Amino acid sequence: MDELEIHTKEWVATGKPLTREIALEVTRDPRIHALIRASDKYLDAIGYTEHGTRHTRLVANRGRDLALTLGYTKRIAERAFLAGLTHDVGNCLGRNMHGVSSAMLIFPILVDHGIEYDDITTIMMAVSNHEEEIGVIVDETGACLAIADKTDVHRSRVRYPDPTTQDIHDRVNLATKACNVTADPVERLINTQVTIDTAIASVMEYFQIFTSRMVMVQKASRLLGCRFKLVINDTELS
């Protein structure tokens, strides 16, 4: 055994495999909460929809549930959970390349919690690649994060529901009365059911702003060995 191999084994051994208990420990870290608050404050200032505690919790739990439902390990599920919790914290440094910023910001926090480096790098890779403009999904963690994040469309995300100030993103979110995501492990199907109030926004407007996101969800579903089905107002569109 050469010196490099010895050092590599010692380095990996310094971390603990990710468990539910450790993941929940991270959720209580005040640094995470401060980063989420700061990021949501910045996005509010530039006119973006809600990206605070509601969004991060939903994405974290949805990503974890997807992984578990589809039969992946608890460890992968907790990776998806932490990726969902932290994927947007880099917005406090600016919207551009915020996935990469998020990954860099969470690295020392995850290290401080003693998480194994393979878990940390997997989470960082998922977070840094969750935006459809530059993202490349390479594993189950990234796929579950992308699906959970891109399917969070709902009227509760609109900060100021004033028709005189809304752009198309606000209108589409305000028009969305429900957006439910389910996974069928037998049929290998990921089903997204959306209910839109067409008096507020049309189905065409939904596609106008969400087509690239739905393409990413479709790619993520394929990586998970699943077919993606999109149903809007009881009409299948995929």
Handedness of CA 130, 133, 139, 140 (dihedral sign): positive
Q: For residue 156, what pLDDT band results from cuts at 50, 70 and 90?
A: confident
- Average of per-residue pLDDT across 203-226: 92
Find where tokens 């932290």 sit: 86
pLDDT number for residue 165: 61
Task: Say whether pLDDT at 93 is over 90.
Answer: yes
pLDDT number for residue 238: 61
Q: Residue 149 belongs to what domain range? A: 3-236
Q: For the chain, how many structural domains are there in total?
A: 1
Q: Give the separation between CA 85 and CA 25, rounded to whole angstroms.
A: 12
Question: 153 with 237: CB under 8 angstroms?
Answer: no
Give me the CATH number covering residue 66: 1.10.3210
Q: 149: closest CA among 160, 163, 137? A: 137
Task: Say whether pLDDT at 1 is over 80.
Answer: no
